[in-house]
């Protein structure tokens, strides 16, 4: 079970866009330079963020991406869900109903099995933590020197 690296790229790019909102919109190529990433592939990873409304895209010359909402209104959960999809990590295929389960009384499988419930509970705790962290919180935990350095980097290659 491994999360796509696009999540890390997406969150970092969101932070940059939050820092440099006054310079928005920023094209993908510029963002790729900030982190030395393959531009085409980074674009593919940011597309679902735009489709989810987390990023706002502008076409044409001087176009690019800007943050779609305030940093306080975007949580880590939003970014993860947009890129990874909303499917649960644990997929219950109801194998309890197969084989020996064929002979079960009707209604015995009305409720989800204990394994599925336990997994859902754990995933819910995970989601709750992700939802409690906003981009603004992440910015507060990041040294201001990083923002200044990134701003200089972008303005230098303008």
Binding residues for a copy of itself, rule: CB under 8 A, are 1-5, 7-9, 11-12, 15, 33-37, 76, 84, 87, 89-93, 95-96, 98-101, 103-105, 108, 113-115, 117-119, 121-123, 125-130, 133, 137-138, 141-143, 145-146, 149-150, 153
The encoded tokens of residue 106 equal: 């009707």
Residue whose CB is less far from DNA, 41 or 153: 41
Residues 6+ apart with CB under 8 A from 14: 49, 54, 55, 67, 74, 79, 135
Q: Minimal distance in Å, beta carbon 148 to DNA?
A: 23
Q: Minimal distance in Å, beta carbon 47 to DNA?
A: 5
**What are the distances in angstroms from CA 45 to CA 38, 68, 73?**
11, 16, 21
Instruction: Pick one of a copy of itself, DNA, none as the site partner of residue 112 (Cβ within 5 to 8 A by kind).
Output: none
Which has the closest alpha carbon to 96: 117, 113, 120? 113
Residue whose CB is less far from a copy of itself, 69 or 97: 97
Name residue 66's beta-bridge partners.
Answer: 56
Binding residue (CB under 7 A) for DNA from 35, 53, 58, 97:
58
């Amino acid at each position: 079970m491994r999360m796509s690296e696009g999540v890390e790229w997406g969150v970092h790019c969101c932070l940059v866009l939050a820092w440099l909102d006054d310079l928005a919109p920023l094209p993908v190529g510029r963002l790729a330079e900030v982190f030395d990433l393959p531009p085409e592939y980074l674009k593919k990873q940011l597309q679902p963020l735009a489709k989810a409304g987390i990023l706002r895209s502008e076409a044409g010359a001087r176009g690019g991406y800007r943050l779609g909402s305030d940093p306080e209104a975007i949580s880590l959960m939003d970014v993860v869900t947009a890129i990874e999809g909303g499917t649960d990590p644990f997929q219950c295929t109801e194998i309890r109903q197969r084989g020996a389960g064929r002979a079960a009384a009707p209604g015995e499988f009305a409720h989800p099995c204990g394994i599925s419930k336990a997994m859902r509970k754990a995933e819910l705790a995970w989601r709750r933590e992700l939802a409690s962290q906003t981009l603004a919180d992440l910015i507060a935990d990041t040294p201001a020197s990083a923002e200044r350095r990134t701003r200089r980097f972008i303005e230098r290659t303008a």
